[in-house]
Amino acid sequence: MNGWYSKNVSQTQSIYRLQLELRLIILLKWALRKWTLTIPTAVTHSYICRWRLRLER
């Protein structure tokens, strides 16, 4: 009984770990996609802000 329980727990933990890794991979892919979109827009936004500040001066 005890041996079966520990075996079952380890199996559940490995499944949980796999799900966690999958979620991390998905999160990383999403973050990368988001970053590739965010970085250029952030850069252009900062340039626009600087340009506006120059115009206001």
Q: Per-residue DSSP letters for 27-44?
A: HHHHHHHHHHHHHHHHHH
Instruction: Report the pLDDT value the prediction gives residue 26, as an integer from 0 to 100.
Output: 93
Q: How far apart are CA 2 and CA 33, in angstroms?
A: 46
Give tens-digit pLDDT for 11-56: 888 888 889 999 999 999 998 888 888 777 888 888 988 988 888 7
Instruction: Report the pLDDT value the prediction gives residue 1, as an integer from 0 to 100.
Output: 53
Rounded to two decimals, the pTM is: 0.46
Instruction: Report the pLDDT value the prediction gives residue 27, as an integer from 0 to 100.
Output: 92
Instruction: Report the pLDDT value the prediction gives residue 25, as an integer from 0 to 100.
Output: 92
Pairs from 38-45 (Cβ < 8 Å, separation ≥ 24): none
Q: How far apart are CA 34 and CA 27, in angstroms?
A: 10
Quote the tokens at residue 39: 């970085």
